[in-house]
Amino acid sequence: MRLILGLWLLIVVLAPAPLVAQQDPPADLDEAIQRRLEASRLQARAVAAFGAGDIDAARSLLEQQLELEPGNPLALYNLACVQCVGGDREAALAILQRAIEHGFVDFEQMRRDPNLADLHETDLFRSILANRTPILDAAGDLQFEAAKKKYGPRYVYERDEDLKLSFASAYDEQTLAQAREELRHIAEWALSEVFTDLRDPPMREADPWVLVVLPSERDFRRWAIMRYGPSAVTSDFHRIGGSYSHDAKELVAMDLGGTLRHEFLHVLHWRSNMRQAQGHPVWIQEGLCSLVEDYDMKGGRLVPAPSWRTNMVKRLERARRMMPIADLARVDRETFNNERPLAHYGLARAVFLYLYQRGVLRDWYAHYTTHFAEDPTGIEAIEFVLGMSIDEVQDDFRRWVALLDEAPEARSDGTIGGLDVSLGVQVDPGRGEGPIVTGVSREARAGGLRVRDVITAIEGRPVRDMNDFVRILADYRAGQTVRVRVHRRRAHMELEVRVVARR
């Protein structure tokens, strides 16, 4: 028997781009951080005690955790499991109800959890399952109202009924509208190319609402410190751009580019996982979700593109240091994120881009999820859809990597590779909305660009970070004129700017 360990926290590791200044954490957060660390220690001990069959110890540890975090839905759910296994059905049902009131809405988990077997036949449990949709809506409302209280009147609040998303945004209404439009495109792509199971409308009723927070820099910093502890502001932290916490049903993204796209795909992926009561290994989660970080538009359709991540994989391959796919499939989350994370993310993305370009991604996902119990690693499904052994796949993948186009890239040292055109401006990476113009040539000035303009799109394609900027610009030739959308103080406008040769 196992309890749920609340580690479904997904971090995106991006190219080094300092978003957060390195300082000590604010003093007022210190106590909250300590409380959180202590609570997660208690949780880990409770899970271990339960695993070892010590029900009393598990109960006592969870009660201590709940003293520190009274409304923690996962702790409540775990306590309900412990009470149920311990034979106290009444207490278990009461606590399960509290868990749900506080936002634990994984009904598939509840329905299949052997720890709750004694509750499954009770009237109350049946009525909980029968009322999933109103319960989910109520949980979504509660979360949305709490966000309004937390972030205050300076934020913009909106809801997307189709995608079941609530937004709390430090960006203005137009910027949020642009971001929402992009998310709709990504959802369309994902539902047709990967998570086809999400097209089933009756199942949609059981999807939870998710809060998407697009915070100010200050709020992001506070969130990051709370989430990751004081170490969040030490040197490595600049690589965390946001996360999606499946436990909290909350997505936080500092930038509207690669991070938001990536984390949003996690939202959809988890919905698919919940519907099927599966938990996919880290390489699949990260590989799939990285696919939409960088994409092209072809004939009005989104197409995942080679990027700085595949460039990295090409370098690994040239150095004969690329990990075999079969090994990658066995890497656990801890190792994936902590030992050479950029290599892991890059390789996982490359494998899924390979499956996509071979035209088998959709079939792979369908086969994989259908046969999940037989092979959760995903390797058998790759062999099946490509009709090759994994060794043959590995050779084919290697050749594909070697032949893959080198993507234009904004390097961490500030230089740009593989780009021979320019808008005649100098830019700074910006804070998440788009690159900021820091210098303007005469020609760019004639086109209307000004210092401090934030560039947010080129030819209607969102430009949110340097990688977007460089990748999209590379599609145009010197002498062409492109429509550049900028944000200047409170105004959003579109300018006609001539592309020039890069000196």
CB of residue 438 vs Zn ion: minimum separation in angstroms?
31
CB of residue 491 vs Zn ion: minimum separation in angstroms?
34
Site string for Zn ion, 284-303 (x = CB under 5 A): --x--x--------------
Phi, psi angle pair for 490, to nearest 5°:
-95, -5
Residue closer to Zn ion by CB (options 119, 265) is: 265
H helices of 358-464, where? 361-370, 379-386, 390-403, 442-446
Element (H or E) spanning 422, and its range? strand 421-422
Task: Report yes or no: 305 and 295 within 8 Å, Cβ to Cβ.
Answer: yes
Buried b (16+ CB within 10 A) or exposed e, 280-289: bbbbbbbbbb
**Token match 């509750």: residue?**
119
CB of residue 334 vs Zn ion: minimum separation in angstroms?
14
CB of residue 336 vs Zn ion: minimum separation in angstroms?
10
Q: Is 267 left (phi over 0), alpha (psi -120 to 50) or beta?
A: alpha
Residue closer to Zn ion by CB (options 95, 289) is: 289
Residue closer to Zn ion by CB (options 10, 393) is: 10
Quote the tokens at residue 190. 């994902």
Decide if residue 17 touches Zn ion (CB under 5 A): no
Distance (Å, rounded) from C-alpha 352 to C-alpha 346? 10
Decide if residue 14 touches Zn ion (CB under 5 A): no
Rule CB under 5 A: choose which of 3, 4, 8, 10 binds Zn ion: 10
Segment lying near Zn ion (by CB under 5 A), choices 10-18, 65-73, 91-99, 116-124: 10-18
Quote the tokens at residue 126. 């049946």
In the beta sheet, which residues pair with residue 212?
167, 251
Residue closer to Zn ion by CB (options 12, 355) is: 12
The number of residues making up the chain comes to: 503
CB of residue 212 vs Zn ion: minimum separation in angstroms?
15
Distance (Å, rounded) from C-alpha 79 to C-alpha 68? 14
CB of residue 282 vs Zn ion: minimum separation in angstroms?
9
Residue closer to Zn ion by CB (options 12, 353) is: 12
Decide if residue 12 touches Zn ion (CB under 5 A): yes
**Token match 């592309």: residue?**
499
Residue nearest to Zn ion (CB): 10
Decide if residue 322 touches Zn ion (CB under 5 A): no
Segment lying near Zn ion (by CB under 5 A), choices 3-11, 16-24, 272-280, 464-472: 3-11
Decide if residue 260 touches Zn ion (CB under 5 A): no
Segment lying near Zn ion (by CB under 5 A), choices 2-10, 55-63, 250-258, 481-489: 2-10
In the beta sheet, which residues pair with residue 497?
482
Distance (Å, rounded) from C-alpha 186 to C-alpha 171? 20
Residue closer to Zn ion by CB (options 102, 464) is: 464
Phi, psi angle pair for 495, to nearest 5°:
-120, 155
Segment lying near Zn ion (by CB under 5 A), choices 11-19, 147-155, 274-282, 366-374: 11-19
Segment lying near Zn ion (by CB under 5 A), choices 4-12, 26-34, 273-281, 420-428: 4-12
CB of residue 26 vs Zn ion: minimum separation in angstroms?
27
Distance (Å, rounded) from C-alpha 206 to C-alpha 134? 10
In the chain, the N- to C-terminal Cα span, in Å, equals: 64
Sign of CA pseudo-dihedral 405, 409, 411, 415: positive
Residue closer to Zn ion by CB (options 115, 290) is: 290
Decide if residue 267 touches Zn ion (CB under 5 A): no
CB of residue 48 vs Zn ion: minimum separation in angstroms?
26
Binding site for Zn ion (CB under 5 A): 10, 12, 286, 289
